[in-house]
Structure 1
Amino acid sequence: MFLLLFILLSAVSVVADDISPGSTLYASNPEQSWNSPNNSFSLSFIQESENTYFAAIIYNGNPIWKAGGDPGGAVDSSAALRFLPDGNLQLVAGSTGSLVWQSGTSGLGITSASLEDSGNFVLKNGSFPIWTTFDNPTDTILPGQNFTVDHVLRCGLYSFRLLRSGVALQWNDSIVYYTSSGINTTGSLNLTSPSLGMQPVGIFSLYDPLLLTPVIMARDIDYGEVIDNTLRFVKLDCDGNMRIYSSAMSSGRGSKVVTWTAVSDQCQVFGYCGRFGVCRYDEFNVNPTCSCPSENFDPIDPRDARKGCKRKVEIQGCQTTMLSLNNALFLTFQPEISSDLFTANIRACPSLCLADTSCVASTSLADGTGVCYMKRSAFISGYQSPTFTSTSYVKVCEPAMPNPPFSSSRSDKKSEALKIAVVVLGCSLALVILVVGFLWLYRRSKPKYESLLPHYSVSDYASGVPVQFSYKELQRETKGFKEKLGEGGFGCVYKGTLSNKMAVAVKQLEGIGQGEKQFRMEVATISSTHHLNLVRLIGFCSEGRHRLLVYEFMKNGSLDSFLFTSKDKNVLNWAHRYSIALGTARGIMYLHEECRDCILHCDIKPENILLDENYNARISDFGLAKLLNLNDHKHRSLITVRGTRGYLAPEWAANLPITSKADVYSYGMVLLEIVSGKRNFEVSPATNHKKFTLWAYEEFEKGNIEGVLDKQLIESDIDMVQAMRVIKVSFWCIQERPSFRPTMGKVVQMLEGIADIHKPPPPVALVEGSAPASSVYSSQMSAISSLASE
């Protein structure tokens, strides 16, 4: 009797969660919703802007499915979502009654609908599902949701779909600008029936019936952290980037944190700035800025620079010329046909395009290869950065106008005249004030040479120059340099708070011998670097003898505070360590291989690897070697720099030429420390009184990988395949001969599992006195040659 009553009550509960045909949701009543049994998910209308609504499934204020997609499902406040008696789900515009979207399920015997605790909305015939949102995704993949070749995510002009070789992000279903065959696989995939799945812990995996194990496409940085009421989901945003988000109920409604990004450089997303739009980073914004190539163009929408540009005068029937864009390229992702590729010098490249009626634009790489790309498509997507060596050209009607600094349009003549008058008057007034102020200061005190150093305007150096602070400002904002964050070979670092409440780290540089203008030019070069794994340079001070750099503040401090602290403090799990190792490698690779001039760090160590609030690795002090005389820097590194002796490559002591391979050596030492939690130069009974790096290689030779790993790590959380890969890479990086060490680009490929890793030879110190170094390496030369050549 009791069992029968329990079954009846359960049945009533199930029915209570079901939604009956004839039910309707109204955009004018946002409080009305259809909820999941645990109330984590709800289906209701959500307002995204003024009079723009979407019927969406929502978790913690975040839409994870939209009826009709974005922007196709956008409606006004008079719209309604109707579950019709015939089983069809319809989104209609209330003011006109027009159909915006429908499930197309009429006549299929649907008797009810329900929103499950997984976030899946189901239309059912009895208990059998007929139509689900999991099978009809819009822009998001949830844990437990299978994504197959029949599915596609869309947001605006961007889409995400599966290929037999992996996954692809596309613009306008034509340009593939991002592909991935998986992090943990080597070689190319050839899948028969690929499908994607998202796990609750934040792993985004690719499956195939023929694969024995899933290929991990992405792993979010908070992987392994069990947080109650936290949803991790993959989302294709309308800016063309795919991200993994974590949203916790406890962090506030609508909050979400990015824990993985497909395209690390947003300007690399094709069409981000629209047709003829140029994507750039400026000194005031972390996010990219869109602008038109020159005054030959007008923005399509002055209120939204991302919608692109149009020519003021179309080129048909006019006298054409080529507009030059320095340090710019036009994105090319599709395989080029032979007629679109030329070998031509920088002068011939625009001439070839000008003579070709089908050519719209061209790009000369100017990197020594002589490659010239001809762009024949009407849609041109541009990227401009001071780090590029390339020059691009756009065909326009004569005359070619100057390139405005991030301006999108010109005002009428009357407005321009008024602006000119205001500028002239303002400059005159400023000049008078400046002269009077100078004379007053001169009479008040004896002028010193340092106080007469010239101050140069922003126009005196390249775009991308950070904000200039006065020494008094930084004194005030650091409270007299009171709170010291750390101390290194280049000076002390203090915490400060700017007037806009932004927390910063202020480094007082020591031993900087350049003149003021040279220092400012070098700072401009450093500030032109933009990468997810580099600490952003916000500003500087160059006043008299004072040289200071202002960086963004990293909440979690430096890596050494996590690796070498007592056991009662926070311990980095394996997922965080692997992410930090990979992020650091990507940051150094950018400095070495992707900047216009190779930037050597010269001081890679855990103290210079900072962690943001999500434990992303952010390299600091990059480019400081550019601010120092190289010979002086050698002297400082060997004599006075504290805490870095164990990271110096052998060529420093041997007085050999210093190349990027010196950074590779330092990174290898850091990599071993990330794995082991021990200083690389540590000697203790646990290491048989040998230097840790030598002892670790002996354990590696014996196959005792567990002995090398940090004892504070939880064994079940360690990915042993990754651990073996990281340890092998570390031993390759710390080879004594620079030519044996891989490039940082190769290091990234090996860490990601894209490139094979041969067995590394032992450090020379292991065999000193027992055999000549050359004989030890002779059996390894084929592997070394293939590694060093890439």
Structure 2
Amino acid sequence: MTMQSHLLLSLFLLPFFSFTTSLSSIIPLGFSLHASNQNQSLSSPDSTFSLSFLPVVPATSPPTFLATITYSGGVAVWSAGEVDSGGVLRLLPTGSLRLVNGSGSTIWDSRTENLGVSSGSLDDSGNLVLLNNKSVVVWSSFEDPTDTVVPTQNFSVGQTLRSGLYSFSLQTNGNLTLTWNKTIVYWNQASNSSIDTNLTSPSLSLQPNGVMSIFDSNLTSGAIVAYSSDYGEGSDILRFLRLDNDGNLRIYSSPRDSGTISARWAAVSDQCQVFGYCGTMGICSYNDSNPICGCPSLNFEPIDVNEARKGCKRKVELDNCPGNQAMLTLEHAKFLTYPPELKDQTFFMGISGCRSNCLLSGSCTASTSVSDGTGVCIMKTPGFVSGYKNPVLPSTSFVKVCEPVSPNPSPLSQAAGNSKGWKLQAWIVVVVVIVTLLILVALEGGFWWWCCRNSPKFGGLSAQYALLEYASGAPVQFSHKELQRSTKGFKEKLGAGGFGAVYRGILANRTIVAVKQLEGIEQGEKQFRMEVATISSTHHLNLVRLIGFCSEGRHRLLVYEFMKNGSLDNFLFAAEEQSGKLLNWEYRFNIALGTARGITYLHEECRDCIVHCDIKPENILLDENYNAKVSDFGLAKLINPKDHRYRTLTSVRGTRGYLAPEWLANLPITSKSDVYSYGMVLLEIVSGRRNFEVSDETNRKKFSVWAYEEFEKGNLQAIIDKRLVDQEINMEQVMRAIQVSFWCIQEQPSQRPMMGKVVQMLEGITEIEKPPAPKAVTEGSMSGTSIHLSSNISALSTFAASAPAPSSSSSLQTVELSSSASGRNIEGGASSSLLRSEQK
């Protein structure tokens, strides 16, 4: 074909491919896509996916571009490679799809030359295919993946995801492996524990709802490997599996047209355990929750000062030592050793032998002595050495260097040095700041003296109470003696539960508070304060406010605002003779709406979604005006004894009658689990009866099942609390509340509405369709005081200490559940009946 013919063909095709959304997904022979034309793209029929060139981020100089398939919004799911501004992606007349640079050099090729390719297309699942004249697929991007797997794409044995030196593959036995440099297997998740048959041709698939499973002809159904934390939630969300350049495999979610992604699951929970993350001789550690890379000591320097992950090198190589060699000691550090290195580099000796043997051996550059009683010593030979340092590691490592040994300065000495240099250069600023602070302190002290000079307790007030009275909402730190004095020695007990007892207290400024004395806390000081700060930063009209805390030695206490009218259960399930505790319908509906708004804030409006896990009337408190406030959110993370990077179990608490079915089916716990619990509470607000009660009136059926039967008959009066029969009731609100409750307690989480939608339905903003019948779910053996669910769940039942004594058929029990963290990602927390308040 002549140049003129090429020009005419290009002019003919230009109108079809010059817009961001093209009219056709068919790629004819001779088609070309140019990196220099950012408006040129090829879209799938429904415009969900498109093939185009995108600028590489972060920007390079000169600029480079990636030939990629993107999901709506610009999220890349497959790429052919990176080119300069002169790059072109062409479907050649020979049938090969080829990416070339501006110089004409080939960057990538589909290797389909002379295989009869006649056209190509991009389908609505994101699969780019090349077809012959019989419409048979000759090549597809799904069969030639890069670093991403999308729903409907089967990832099979022999296929590999790659990102830099890292790769991910599926083994013939169904195991999933992450490998560094094609040699070091640093993550190997076996699936044989859940598969009791030999696999012939396993494949991995990520379902649109966020479930990752292995399929095989010998399996009747998929063997679940992992869940995304937003499993089953939302619509128009693309969930995809990606191997990132940090060596971790993650499930991401991307809402349509947003262009943003959120990590919902990670294969390696501790990023520093990824081999080679910080390069050779690099040491990985954490700055709060973020991994950072550094060098072992001042005997080393970064290979690239602009990229810490490239690792470190000795300033003086061992072969060029002017003096003797010595061993640098790294406390609480280890050098990562995985198969196949593990067997050849593991020895058994004491810590001194581990150090001296490496020093004397010419084939050892570093060693790790594991201080767990096993006597394991790992010797590292010259080559790639990947380090990890963390205060919780029970190991000491040694690195061979040339004398003199120059350890890294401690953070305190670094800070002191920086402060000294700053003072020398800017002493005037320091003086101004100090004088300003002194003036402010003097003014504040004078104000306090003027206001409180006649108070006998003025001398005992601390600056912490000044914060409590005037400050910014930050949690106030109390001493244990202060709280002991304010509670009169912890005498007036309001309630008790799984996290400890609650006492009434009066602060020095006459503020009445509820002081929760936590039990079983094993967290360190820093982690405890971080979690307290997270809870205290969660502010909403319908959430109980955390005022302060105490962290002194083994004492851990939380100070909450006092709720004068106690908890909702005292009103809903009060005996008939306690007429003063009867709530009219207007109060009940406002409580239901306020509770829904509080949970909505936890789920959808916080920076991080908080799943409560124990929504029940005992955890809904009422202030002096009967406004509802949700209590005890965030406590499970606070109680957890281990840092989230190292824990293997996640502990939560739930209560009989309010647990969602996924607890019993060992499925992931999400915000939809709270929706189920709220639906049960909403039904109790309407009926004034425990949802798990059975009686002759309900034909010995669970109340929620019986209530739906009456709802279908149109007999709402049978469901409504009989104590309201002589009162004015808004039946339209009653109908909305009952319908919403049945939607919330659907067995499938995907059928339950989000809490924001619940609020809209209760307010009448959104029309409510007739809910399907909720299934009767058997919640294990629940007739006694303990519940036995499965090998993965241990249960402990306790009665709410200050709850009214229930009948044997309706005893409220709190159960403690432990679940595998890989199957359940739970943020937030729960407890039993706490913060029980004084009644009028």
Instruction: Report the TM-score when normalising by structure 2.
Output: 0.57
- CA distance in structure 1 between the aligned counterparts of 2:202 and 2:263, rounded to whole angstroms: 26
CA distance 1:99–1:540, shift in 2 (3 Å) = farther
Q: Name the structure 2 match of 1:200.
A: 208
321-330 or 436-445, larger mean C-alpha shift = 436-445
**Contact 2:75 2:260 (8 Å CA) reproduced:** no
State how far apart, in whole Å, the 2-side matches of 1:440 and 1:225 are: 51
Residues 262-303 of structure 1 show CA distances to partners (whole Å, capped at 9, x for unaligned) of: 1222222221111122222224xx321121222111112222
Task: Judge conservation of contact 1:123–1:129 (CA < 8 Å) in 2.
Answer: yes
1:21-420 pair list within 5 angstroms: 21-47=29-55, 48-50=57-59, 51-68=63-80, 73-94=81-102, 96-126=103-133, 127-165=135-173, 166-182=175-191, 185-186=193-194, 190-225=198-233, 227=235, 229-249=236-256, 252-283=257-288, 286-318=289-321, 319-334=324-339, 340-376=345-381, 378-404=383-409
* 8 Å Cα contact 1:60-1:247 kept in structure 2: no
In structure 2, the partner of 1:476 is: 472
Alignment check: 8 A CA contact 1:470 1:543 kept: no
* Larger RCO: 1 or 2 (CA < 8 Å, sep 6+): 2
Change (3 A) 1:560 1:540: closer
- Alpha-carbon distance between aligned partners in 2 of 1:192 and 1:544, rounded to the nearest angstrom: 57
Q: CA deviation at 1:685?
A: 8.9
Equivalent residues of 1:591, 1:599 under 8 A apart:
no
CA distance 1:511–1:529, shift in 2 (3 Å) = closer
Q: CA deviation at 1:212?
A: 2.4
* Distance in 2, Cα, partners of 1:240 & 1:490: 45
After superposition, what is the alpha-carbon deviation per residue over 1:214-258, rounded to whole angstroms, capped at 9, x for unaligned?
Answer: 21112223333361x322211111111111222222xx4312222
Q: 2: distance between equivalents of 1:278 and 1:535? A: 33
After superposition, give the CA deviation of every residue in 1:308-338 in whole Å (9 maximum; x if it has no partner).
Answer: 2222111124232111222222222225556
Give the Cα–Cα distance (whole angstroms) in 2 for the partners of residues 190 and 268 of structure 1: 31
Matched residue of 2:347: which SS?
Answer: strand
Q: Which residue of 1 aligns with 2:745?
A: 712
Matched-pair contact (CA < 8 Å) for 2:43–2:50: yes
Q: Say whether the 8 Å CA contact 2:366–2:380 is kept in structure 1.
A: yes
Distance, in Å, in 1 between the alignment partners of 2:139 and 2:51 is: 16
Is 2:611–2:670's contact at 8 Å kept on the other side of the alignment? Answer: no
Unaligned runs of 5+ in 1: 1-13, 411-415, 454-467, 482-486, 493-507, 514-518, 567-579, 610-614, 619-669, 690-694, 697-708, 737-745, 754-790
**Aligned residue in 1 for 2:789:** 727
SS at match of 1:235: strand
Give the letter aligned to residue 173 of structure 1: K
Q: Secondary structure at the match of 1:138?
A: coil
In 2, the alpha carbon distance for the partners of 1:74 and 1:320 equals 45
Q: Highest Rg: 1 or 2?
A: 2
1:13-60 Cα distance to aligned partner (Å, 9 max, x none): x99542111111111112101111111111000112312321000102
Match of 1:136, as an amino acid?
Answer: D
For residue 49 of structure 1, give the secondary structure of its aligned residue in structure 2.
Answer: coil
Secondary structure class of the residue paired with 1:351: helix
Does the 8 A contact of 2:423 with 2:430 survive in 1? no
How far is 1:451 from its partner?
Answer: 9.1
Distance in 1 (alpha carbons) for counterparts of 2:548 and 2:262: 33
For the structure 1 residues 190 and 34, does the alpha-carbon distance in structure 2 shift closer, same or farther, using more than 3 Å as the test? same
Given residue 746 of structure 2, which amino acid in structure 1 is its aligned partner? Answer: L
Contact 2:475/2:549, CA 8 A, preserved across alignment: no
Determine the C-alpha separation between the residues in 1 that align with 2:433 and 2:24.
77
Cα RMSD (Å): 5.7
- C-alpha contact 2:270 2:645 (8 A) present in aligned 1: no
Structure 2 CA distance for partners of 1:750 and 1:529, relative to 1, 3 Å: closer
- When residues 561 and 752 of structure 1 are mapped into structure 2, their CA distance, relative to the original with a 3 A threshold, is closer
1:363, distance to aligned residue in structure 2 (A): 1.4
Aligned letter for 2:42? W
Q: Any conservation in 2 of the 1:115–1:121 contact (CA below 8 Å)?
A: yes
Partner of 2:832: none
Cα distance in 2, alignment partners of residues 337 and 350 from structure 1? 18
The whole-number CA distance in structure 1 between the counterparts of 2:466 and 2:276 is 40
Question: SS in structure 2 opposite 1:313?
Answer: coil
Q: Distance in 2 between matches of 1:315 and 1:366?
A: 28
Checking the alignment, whether the CA contact within 8 Å between 1:509 and 1:547 is kept in structure 2 is no
TM superposition shift of 1:208: 2.1
Residues 354-399 of structure 1 show CA distances to partners (whole Å, capped at 9, x for unaligned) of 1222112111222233322222252122222222222222222112
Q: How many matched pairs?
A: 578
Amino acid at match of 1:258: A
Q: How far has the Cα of 1:102 moved from its partner? A: 0.9
Distance 1:387 1:150 in 2: 38
Give, as a single letter, the amino acid of the residue that structure 1 aligns with 2:526.
A
TM-score normalised over the length of structure 1: 0.60
1-side partners of 2:310 and 2:98: how far apart? 30
Deviation larger for 372-381 or 112-121: 372-381
Distance in 2 between residues matched to 1:44 and 1:247, nearest whole Å:
19
Is the alpha carbon distance of 1:35 and 1:723 closer, same or farther for their aligned partners in structure 2, counting shifts above 3 Å?
Answer: farther
Identify if the C-alpha distance between structure 1 residues 348 and 88 changes in structure 2 by more than 3 Å, giving closer, same or farther.
same
Q: Give runs of aligned pairs for residues 548-563 of structure 1, distance below 5 A.
A: 554-556=608-610, 558-561=612-615
**Is the 1:274–1:309 contact (alpha carbons within 8 Å) kept by the matching residues of 2?**
yes
The residue that corresponds to 1:524 in the other structure is 526
Structure 1 counterpart of 2:73, which letter?
G
Which secondary structure state, in structure 2, belongs to the residue aligned with residue 260 of structure 1? Answer: strand
Q: What is the CA distance between 1:123 and its match in structure 2?
A: 0.9
Q: Is the 8 A contact 1:54 1:66 kept in 2?
A: no
TM-fit CA distance, 1:74:
2.1
Structure 1 residues 527-542: aligned runs within 5 Å: none
Q: 1:403: Cα distance to partner?
A: 1.6
CA–CA separation in structure 1 for the residues paired with 2:466 and 2:337 = 43
Structure 2 gap segments, 5+ residues each: 1-21, 478-496, 504-512, 539-545, 561-601, 621-632, 660-667, 683-687, 696-700, 703-741, 752-774, 781-786, 799-816, 825-840
Distance 1:300 1:311 in 2: 9
Structure 1 residue matching 2:309: 3-state secondary structure: helix
Q: Residues 168 and 178 of structure 1 are in contact (CA less than 8 Å); yes or no, is this contact kept in structure 2?
A: yes
Structure 2 partner of 1:781: none
Name 1:498's counterpart in structure 2.
none
| Residue deviations 1:433-461 (CA, integer Å, cap 9, x gap) | 759966996897699988999xxxxxxxx
- Measure the CA separation in 2 of the matches of 1:202 and 1:750: 16
